[in-house]
C-alpha cells in the first residue's frame, strides 16, 4: 500500500520538475 503512495508522490515530483525544466528550456535559461 505504501509503495503505491510512494509511486504517486514520485510521479507528481517528476511531473512538477519536468514542467519546471521545460519552462526553463523554453525561457532560454539554459
pLDDT digits (tens, 9 = 90+) for 1-30: 799 999 999 999 999 998 998 888 888 765
Q: What is the pTM of this model?
A: 0.51
> So where are the chain's domains?
1-25
- Joined grid coordinates for residue 26: 523554453
- Round to whole Å and give the CA distance between 18 and 26: 12
Mapped to the 3 state alphabet, what secondary structure does 1-30 carry?
CHHHHHHHHHHHHHHHHHHHHHHHHHCCCC
Residue 17 DSSP label: H
pLDDT score, position 26:
87
Residue with cell 511531473: 15
The pLDDT assigned to 27 comes to 85
Amino acid at each position: 500500500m505504501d509503495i503505491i503512495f510512494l509511486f504517486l508522490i514520485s510521479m507528481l515530483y517528476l511531473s512538477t520538475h519536468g514542467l519546471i525544466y521545460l519552462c526553463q528550456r523554453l525561457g532560454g535559461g539554459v
